[in-house]
Amino acid sequence: MRTAAVRAGIDTDAAEGAVVPPLYLSTTYRFEGLRTPRAFDYSRSGNPTRSLLADALAELDGAAGAVVTASGMGAISTVLLGLVAAGDVVVAPHDAYGGTWRLLDALARRVGFDLQLLDLTAPDAPARVTSLAPRLLWVETPSNPLLGISDLAALGEAAHACGGLMAVDNTFCSPVLQRPIELGADLVVQSSTKYLNGHSDVIGGVVASATVQLAEQMAWWANCLGVTGGAFDSYQTMRGLRTLGVRMAAHQANAASVVDALAGHAAVARVYYPGLPDHPGHALAARQMAGFGGIVSFDLAGGEDAVAAFVDGLDHFSLAESLGGVESLVCHPGSMTHAAMPPDVQAAAGLGPGLVRLSVGIEDPDDLVADITAGLARAAGALS
């Protein structure tokens, strides 16, 4: 895995023997003659730099092919617009990423499909999926922001039993921690804005497909819709991808230290992290993931006032949306990433006003723990 990420595109330059592949910014490619295009003709449909990144990401996911898109939402749009028609049933998690929820909700009305939101972490979820017979089952595990774990193998079987397809948003894991195609996914979507690029300087996405037919269909739709990724973004993402293995290891180790500081603290009502033995999805996560990841959420007992006290004064966590970069971030999902969800939908999904999500970076763990500990003392002060 690490080797494939590091070696992506290395030594592929036939023109000059460049070790790192060059960046092709040209939007258009000269035909060899009338009716004889070369491998690439126009950069929306195909670009050499983007194509190397797509091949690398397909290999990491164990996919038949991948298409790189301009954003994670571009990847999700490609899957939904390419696969779902009026009258179809789409099953999705009740606590999906806010942007995913907004797109599903808007498209269900515009296209006329039947959106069913379920708790996919529940033990009866596979049976409920089969009884709903979806064309598409959308899964996010760990889910955002509550880190719920869904059983990919069981859900994949349930979707296939009724002739449907399973798509998995693997943004929180990257292929280093979870390989959904091996567990039965037909499509894997990621926001490469997060861990794949890892440096918070590119918006991008990818759809990887288990079969050549799906891969061709997704590439066709991404080109047709005009959501394929830019060449420079692909170049940057490939550069970030090379260190994915070492970054994920550092994120996880630091997350474990932060969880230790949170667990049992008086200001903290509950910690959501699949690595904790009392997390309801712990055993499943240990089975289907290669590690528990770098995202940690927790409820502060004092609600939104405690959140304000906690975030105001942090030195090493920036109050910002997004996740998966080398720098640590803190977010209040209720007013930030999930603000598009109406309060009743937030409440149904278990998002309380005191919920905080951390994207734990790769800084020195002692600095992060000291910062969190001081923040919790402020939050406890707001409580008393």
* 84-113 positions binding ligand PLP, by CB under 6 A: 97, 99-100
Return the residue of 141, 193, 228, 288 that touches ligand PLP, per CB under 6 A: 193
Spatial distance between the Cα atoms of 20 and 236, rounded to a whole number of angstroms: 12
Q: What phi and psi, each to the nearest 5 degrees, are found at residue 256?
A: -60, -40
Contact 183, 153 (CB under 8 A): yes
Q: Report the C-alpha gap between 317 and 374 in whole angstroms.
A: 12
User: Kind and range of the H or E element at 122?
Assistant: none
Interface pick for ligand PLP out of 47, 78, 144, 288 (rule CB under 6 A): 144
CB of residue 39 to ligand PLP, shortest distance in Å: 28
> Six-digit token pair at 246?
């070492």
CB 237 to ligand PLP: min, Å: 11
Please say if 97 is a catalytic residue. Answer: yes
Minimum gap (Å) between residue 100 Cβ and ligand PLP = 6
Q: What is the DSSP letter of 321?
A: S
Contacts of 288 (CB under 8 A, 6+ apart): 141, 149, 151, 152, 153, 178, 183
Q: Is 191 in the site for ligand PLP (CB under 6 A)?
A: yes
Between 47 and 76, how does the x/- string for binding to ligand PLP read (CB under 6 A)?
A: ------------------------xxx---
Nearest to 164 by CA among 205, 105, 208, 114: 114
Among 188-196, 221-229, 307-315, 359-367, the segment contacting ligand PLP (CB under 6 A): 188-196
Q: Is 11 exposed, middle or buried (0-12, 13-18, 19+ CB in 10 A)?
A: exposed
Strand 187-191 and strand 165-169: the pairing is parallel
**Residue 229 sits in the site that holds ligand PLP (CB under 6 A):** no
Of 24, 50, 95, 97, the active-site residue reads: 97
**Judged by CB, which is closer to ligand PLP: 169, or 299?**
169
Q: Least distance from C-beta 251 to ligand PLP, angstroms?
A: 14
Burial of 34 (0-12, 13-18, 19+ CB in 10 A): exposed
Measure the CA–CA gap between 87 and 135, rounded to whole angstroms: 10
- Mask for 198-227, x = binds ligand PLP (CB under 6 A): -----x-x----------------------
Is position 171 an interface residue for ligand PLP (rule: CB under 6 A)? yes
Closest CB 97 distance from ligand PLP, rounded Å: 4
Tell me the backbone φ, ψ of residue 191, rounded to 5 degrees.
-85, 105
333 touches ligand PLP by CB under 6 A: no
List the catalytic residue out of 2, 13, 29, 44: 44
Catalytic hit among 194, 242, 357, 378? 194
In the complex, least distance from residue 148 CB atom to ligand PLP, rounded to whole angstroms? 12
Active site members: 44, 97, 169, 194
Residues that bind ligand PLP (CB under 6 A): 71-73, 97, 99-100, 140, 144, 169, 171, 191, 193-194, 203, 205
